[in-house]
Structure 1
Amino acid sequence: MRKRALLPSLVVMLLMASGFFSDRAAAQELPFVHPLFSDHMVLQRDLKTPVWGWAHPGQKVTVSVADRSGTAEADSSGRWMAWLEPLPAGGPHELTVTGPQSVTISDVLVGDVWICSGQSNMEWPLAAANDAQQEIAAAHHPKLRLFSVPKRISAEPQQTVAARWTTCTPETARGFSAVGYFFGRDLQRELEVPIGLVHASWGGTVAEAWTSAGSLRTMDDFAPVVESFQQQAAAKRSGENGFEAMMERWWKDNDPGTRENWQDGADESEEWSSMELPGNWEDRGLSNYDGVVWFQKEFSVPEQAAGKPAVVHLGPIDDRDTTWVNGHRVGGQAEWMRGRDYQIPAEYLKAGRNVISIRVLDTGGGGGLYGNPDQMSVQVEGQTSIPLAGAWKYQATTPLAKAKPTPQPLNSNPNVVTVLYNGMIAPLEPLAVKGAIWYQGESNAGRPVQYRTLLPTLIGDWREKFTSDQFTFLIVELANFMAVQTQPVESGWAMLREAQQMTAKNDPHAGIASAIDIGEANDIHPRNKQEVGRRLALSALKIAYDRDLVSRGPEFVSATFDPGQATLRFEHVGEGLMAKGGELKGFAIAGDDKQFVWGNAKIEGDTVVVSAPEVKQPTAVRYSWANNPIGTLYNRAGLPASPFRTDED
């Protein structure tokens, strides 16, 4: 079953009440000084630093801290921005802002500021991490400062946030990002300078939601999606609802079953398979499949029940369904945890053979009709219920990776292009920062090839907005998760990790911290956030601070193929390669037929030699290529090798 952060109903109500599509009209009076500049803050050291706020157009403002000062004049929109010359690490200082008002900001430190963003594994609080009680009790760090951006979605870029800086104490750390906290704590201890952490994350969200509209327009996949989003937002503001029409166009453009009206009866020219329902389709022959599947089942109605109203019960469906009876639409929903109970008008049922058709779109994780057998039936008024559990015909039509991005309903939905950038990142710009740590990708694992472009686009977007082309961006490589496979398999999560590695390898100011060995098969939220934070700090020390240390595990460089064996070369080996636990596991090898089998692997210096008796002439090797791999290749710094394949698409 999918694990997502559900938006609490109270928050939904508040978002709707605040007017998602009327940000300008409902905007509160903008503050004289932006909330990022508040007591206990951290200013970024060694960079020119902007300080900003709002006043009446033409009013002059002076900002001073230590021996630095800057002046500004409010522009026609009322925004003023003063720049301070670079400051060395230190403090505490007072920062004063004078103009139409006078504000003194106390206990200001100068050090390094990092943004902590992503989805639920970044959002995961310290209170739910391993050894939480002891960690919270020890969270007295006066030179570690915390700023939490409230969750907010918006159709347009926002300018301010309702938040303030706090000093790190057990009380303030408890609900803060565990990964962010451990990263900041370890970094502050090592550098002995103040560290400020700005946390902005939202569980279950996609990367495109965190990227600006302007940057997404540079991607062919997203340019039309941004256009339709903005059209839909405009329609919503004017009282219309264009989502259903956009969704219907998506079905016709991407799904042959929709174009050919399969709801009127199965396409006899296609071979339909059989699946026992209920149950996630990943456990019924569609492993790692995200996309569209059609289901159909015949059921018989006795003569005395024909022409009577009925209800079809289907249980929960993951994610979106449209349901027809005898070609007549009876319902559809997009809430993956809610049971489906659809009214069937009396004229739709007939005596004898009837057909129910269900079109299901799954956008990630488990998919299909996954409830209990007793939740699946047709209940005719005044009659015995007709069971629907059992064998259904099915046809998988459109893998999500080959389809255009789906339109998304607006209002309270965080998984819409650019809405989290608008609501949670844009209000921080152009704060001077050292960089960002990013734990995200689970929600994009159904589109891993696209992520090769999307993640670098997001990084470039943030660098431009935060006015630093050397902005360090550190990526958490997705943790191992789901059932362990006994044989080599294809894996969307492995491909997503590959996209993360490509991004880091091609960007001199990006790094990667692998979590490939600290996940949990049955929980998408591994509790060992300490090690994730430690590895991110190692990566930061190497990339952002130019420390001479081993910051990551072995990384595949090249392969040589000879009769009977493949020789693999690695970098980031430190003092040498090692097999954790003594036996080298996780390598699969294949010839031209691409039929991978487990290989025998041995370490020879800084190389690994892989062979298998059944592969006489190898042409490809894969390592830890699975959702939840068992790989034991490490360097002697105790850091795991990242998954890889030599047969990259």
Structure 2
Amino acid sequence: MPYRKLFYLLLSAVIPVLSLNAAVKLPSVFSNNMVLQQRTDAAVWGTAAAGKTVTVQTSWDKRTYQAKADVDGNWKIKVHTPSFGGPYTVLISEENIITLNNVLIGDVWLCSGQSNMEMPLAGWGKIMNYQQEIANANYPDIRLLQAIHVTSNIPKTDLEVRNNGWDVCTPKTVAEFSAVAYFFARAVYEKTKIPIGLIHSSWGGTIAEAWTSYETLQTLPDFAAAAQKIKTAPETDKAGYEAQMKKWEQEKYKADKGFENGAAVWAKPGLDISGWKTMRVPGLWEGKGYPDLDGVAWFRKKITVPDSWAGKDLTLSLSTIDDDDIAFFNGVQVGATVGYNQDRRYTVPAKLVNKGDNYIAVRVADNGGGGGMYGNVKEMFLRTADGQQIDLSGDWLFKIAFSFKDIPPAPQNPQNPNRPTVLYNAMIHPVISFAIKGAIWYQGESNAGRAYQYRELFPAMIKDWRSRFQSGDFSFYFVQLANYMKRADEPSESSWAELREAQLMTTKLPNTGMATIIDIGNATDIHPKNKQEVGRRLALIALNKIYGRKNEYSGPLYRSQKISRDKIILIFDHAQGMTASGGSLKGFSIAGSDKKFYRADAEIKGNTVIVSSKNVKSPVAVRYAWADNPEASLINSAGLPASPFRTDSWEGITKGVK
């Protein structure tokens, strides 16, 4: 008889099922297919009737553990886990028995942040080669726990998850999972063969203070009052909020010049388009000359279709849009979607399709952050049922209907994720007792305008988590912001550069590591598609620092400078085999005491770079890759890019911004 069946029968013989009235219950982090952290005392917890004794039995060592539920019915038991392996069975019983099957012992990683961590392989993400990557994602020793978006004004005890628990990594389960987290796990697993559990808890567009506890924010003057307000506020006033939103939506439509008396006049085929601008899509409009636009804008495109298409149903695919859209074909609405992370595929009825010229119009509403029609070029098309298609990427007409600055502010959503503490409370606090190996983090875009503030906030958040998790001073690896937006013609100030600097400064915390991706971003897409390399670079850090591999894990890191007459000599760590990708060393600028930076000449010598400019006779400072979307070509022999940096400490543009 197989061991697990015998184990279950023996337990059943000594612990009869008497009643389910006081049944032992487990939180969502405990389910079939789970991963428990290896070589530790891993907590298992839940609820039962007050005073009742709960028993936990583990098949890997045939041990029995017991604990009594307290007056509130809560219990916690720590089970000793061996080195990685499995599958195993865990039995939890009191007046009922819960059997957890297909349990692995391995390393558990918490994965969090905003949209670039959340970005799935498929869905709105559609990463590079996503179809092939999904098809190849058969990794039964990688397990996935996907948190659902939830907010809370006070700490919650249970995590809301998809599928009621852990999934085995397959093409079906990985498609809507975090691409960065998956590629990180895959790279670690392929080198170590250690089972990996991924707890993915992230939310696009969110701020770091939302992921930080009330107690820690009380120590930070910029956030203390706001956190206090959240803690004491009613959890929700759904009816009141919906009534206010209805009025606000009416204000929006009144302000929208694209509508007249309820009719979408900017969607009409015969519209006078004089005064409309041209914008190339896909791409967010922040990188196309509208960096501060939160509001509504319209896009139009004239399409000439073959005569044979007339009178046939068509599929209109608009890839992804940030945040909401209404799509029109020849002046008639054919679809509408709410949410930046949704696919846009609409059916154009045959009766709307004419011979020759046809007109597509899209009303795009951006509620904050990035806005516009962005995403995969290959997912923008007009297609017939038999596969003939017209590419819709390229130039569209563009016109702003209104900015949110022109109307009263939107009512505060009581479930808005961008409020201090609410994501920590709902999506991190429920798992603080779960033993983990470490965390990976990709966030910062939403805090870039307050980069100086991030210098204090980000390390405070890391220390906050470490102080609360059972695993204590766990490893915390994060991704530095990628290059993004229009490339500046001359050296200038940059809030994104200042945010990258704050991230670099955070590596001074012990057991941290930073993956630099300044070379694989996209000027027109805040969600670059090469998530394979992001995950791999995070894994390089873990493989070196945790798993004993000797691989290089960082690009060149600035250590110090030496001024030599009209030159500055920069000294680097992780400098083995430094060279210029593409053959030309770019991205350096230099300044004298007047603080005016000029593009500089740069030359590599060993572990140093010598920087100079004919415009600066007495230099005092150098900056490298200091821009939203900089030129950056310095790499080492591992092909890893140097982190952006500056040698000066002059006041930045986000100093004092709150």
Equivalent residue number for residue 97 of structure 2: 102
1:428 to 417, 426, 431: 431
Deviations 1:281-330 (A, max 9, x none): 97999x97799xxxxxxxxxxxxxxxxxxxxxx9669xxxxxxxxxxxxx
Higher alpha-carbon deviation: 432-441 or 210-219: 210-219
Equivalent residue number for residue 449 of structure 2: 446
Query: TM-score, normalized by length of structure 2?
Result: 0.70
Matched, 1:74 2:69: yes
2:488 to 485, 509, 513: 485
Q: Is contact 2:494–2:628 with CA below 8 Å preserved after alignment?
A: yes
Deviations 1:184-215 (A, max 9, x none): 01111111111111111111111111111111
Within a 5 Å distance, the mapping from 1:305-316 to structure 2 comes to: none
Equivalent residue number for residue 546 of structure 2: 544
Deviation at 1:237, TM superposition (A): 6.5
Q: What amino acid maps onto 1:550 in structure 2?
A: E
Q: Is contact 1:71–1:83 with CA below 8 Å preserved after alignment?
A: no
C-alpha separation in 1, matches of 2:64 and 2:600: 65
Q: What amino acid maps onto 1:611 in structure 2?
A: S
Equivalent residue number for residue 647 of structure 2: 646
Deviation at 1:240, TM superposition (A): 8.6
C-alpha separation in 1, matches of 2:514 and 2:400: 47
In structure 2, the CA distance between the partners of 1:407 and 1:471, relative to structure 1 (3 Å rule), is farther
Equivalent residue number for residue 194 of structure 2: 193
2:556 to 539, 551, 554: 554
SS in structure 2 at match of 1:143 = strand
Within a 5 Å distance, the mapping from 1:138-177 to structure 2 comes to: 138-160=136-158, 161-162=160-161, 163-177=164-178
Q: Is contact 1:510–1:543 with CA below 8 Å preserved after alignment?
A: no
Q: Is contact 1:56–1:78 with CA below 8 Å preserved after alignment?
A: yes
Q: Is contact 1:41–1:107 with CA below 8 Å preserved after alignment?
A: yes
Deviation at 1:630, TM superposition (A): 1.0
C-alpha separation in 1, matches of 2:195 and 2:400: 59
C-alpha separation in 2, matches of 1:570 and 1:441: 25
In structure 2, the CA distance between the partners of 1:32 and 1:374, relative to structure 1 (3 Å rule), is closer
Deviation at 1:89, TM superposition (A): 0.9
Q: Is contact 1:410–1:416 with CA below 8 Å preserved after alignment?
A: no
Equivalent residue number for residue 412 of structure 1: 415
SS in structure 2 at match of 1:80 = strand
Within a 5 Å distance, the mapping from 1:372-387 to structure 2 comes to: 375=401
Equivalent residue number for residue 205 of structure 1: 206
Q: What amino acid maps onto 2:644 in structure 1?
A: P
Q: What amino acid maps onto 1:59 in structure 2?
A: K
Deviation at 1:648, TM superposition (A): 2.6
Equivalent residue number for residue 50 of structure 2: 57
Structure 1: runs of 5 or more not aligned: 1-28, 245-275, 292-313, 318-334, 340-360, 377-388, 395-405
Deviation at 1:610, TM superposition (A): 0.2
Q: Is contact 2:24–2:93 with CA below 8 Å preserved after alignment?
A: no
Q: What amino acid maps onto 1:598 in structure 2?
A: R
C-alpha separation in 2, matches of 1:546 and 1:31: 41
Q: Is contact 1:477–1:500 with CA below 8 Å preserved after alignment?
A: yes
C-alpha separation in 1, matches of 2:111 and 2:223: 25
C-alpha separation in 2, matches of 1:486 and 1:408: 40
In structure 2, the CA distance between the partners of 1:288 and 1:645, relative to structure 1 (3 Å rule), is farther
C-alpha separation in 2, matches of 1:289 and 1:559: 37
Equivalent residue number for residue 385 of structure 1: none
Equivalent residue number for residue 25 of structure 2: 32
1:460 to 451, 463, 486: 463
Deviation at 1:179, TM superposition (A): 0.6
SS in structure 1 at match of 2:627 = coil
Deviation at 1:545, TM superposition (A): 2.7
Q: Is contact 1:45–1:112 with CA below 8 Å preserved after alignment?
A: yes
Q: Is contact 2:487–2:630 with CA below 8 Å preserved after alignment?
A: yes
In structure 2, the CA distance between the partners of 1:98 and 1:584, relative to structure 1 (3 Å rule), is same
In structure 2, the CA distance between the partners of 1:69 and 1:557, relative to structure 1 (3 Å rule), is farther
In structure 2, the CA distance between the partners of 1:53 and 1:496, relative to structure 1 (3 Å rule), is same
Deviation at 1:373, TM superposition (A): 5.9
C-alpha separation in 1, matches of 2:208 and 2:442: 10
Within a 5 Å distance, the mapping from 1:276-295 to structure 2 comes to: none
C-alpha separation in 2, matches of 1:175 and 1:106: 24
Deviation at 1:502, TM superposition (A): 0.7
Deviation at 1:409, TM superposition (A): 2.4
Within a 5 Å distance, the mapping from 1:102-121 to structure 2 comes to: 102-121=97-116
Equivalent residue number for residue 516 of structure 1: 518
Deviation at 1:116, TM superposition (A): 1.0
In structure 2, the CA distance between the partners of 1:374 and 1:112, relative to structure 1 (3 Å rule), is closer
Higher alpha-carbon deviation: 410-419 or 425-434: 410-419
Q: What amino acid maps onto 2:93 in structure 1?
A: T
In structure 2, the CA distance between the partners of 1:366 and 1:192, relative to structure 1 (3 Å rule), is closer
Equivalent residue number for residue 584 of structure 1: 585
C-alpha separation in 2, matches of 1:514 and 1:552: 8
SS in structure 2 at match of 1:109 = strand
Q: Is contact 1:89–1:193 with CA below 8 Å preserved after alignment?
A: yes
In structure 2, the CA distance between the partners of 1:145 and 1:565, relative to structure 1 (3 Å rule), is same
Deviation at 1:121, TM superposition (A): 0.7
Q: Is contact 2:441–2:479 with CA below 8 Å preserved after alignment?
A: yes
Equivalent residue number for residue 615 of structure 1: 616
Deviation at 1:38, TM superposition (A): 1.0
C-alpha separation in 2, matches of 1:531 and 1:43: 27
Equivalent residue number for residue 134 of structure 1: 132
In structure 2, the CA distance between the partners of 1:336 and 1:141, relative to structure 1 (3 Å rule), is closer
SS in structure 1 at match of 2:446 = helix
Number of residue pairs matched by the alignment: 498
Q: What amino acid maps onto 1:456 in structure 2?
A: P
* RMSD (Å) for aligned C-alpha atoms: 3.3
Query: TM-score, normalized by length of structure 1?
Result: 0.71
Equivalent residue number for residue 304 of structure 2: none
Equivalent residue number for residue 475 of structure 1: 478
Q: What amino acid maps onto 2:454 in structure 1?
A: Y
C-alpha separation in 2, matches of 1:188 and 1:539: 14
Higher alpha-carbon deviation: 544-553 or 48-57: 544-553
In structure 2, the CA distance between the partners of 1:281 and 1:531, relative to structure 1 (3 Å rule), is closer
Deviation at 1:120, TM superposition (A): 0.7
Q: What amino acid maps onto 1:124 in structure 2?
A: M
Q: Is contact 2:153–2:233 with CA below 8 Å preserved after alignment?
A: no
Q: What amino acid maps onto 1:63 in structure 2?
A: V
Q: What amino acid maps onto 1:494 in structure 2?
A: A
C-alpha separation in 1, matches of 2:423 and 2:568: 45
In structure 2, the CA distance between the partners of 1:131 and 1:290, relative to structure 1 (3 Å rule), is closer
Equivalent residue number for residue 387 of structure 2: none
Deviations 1:556-576 (A, max 9, x none): 010111221100000012x32
In structure 2, the CA distance between the partners of 1:588 and 1:289, relative to structure 1 (3 Å rule), is farther
C-alpha separation in 2, matches of 1:218 and 1:541: 35
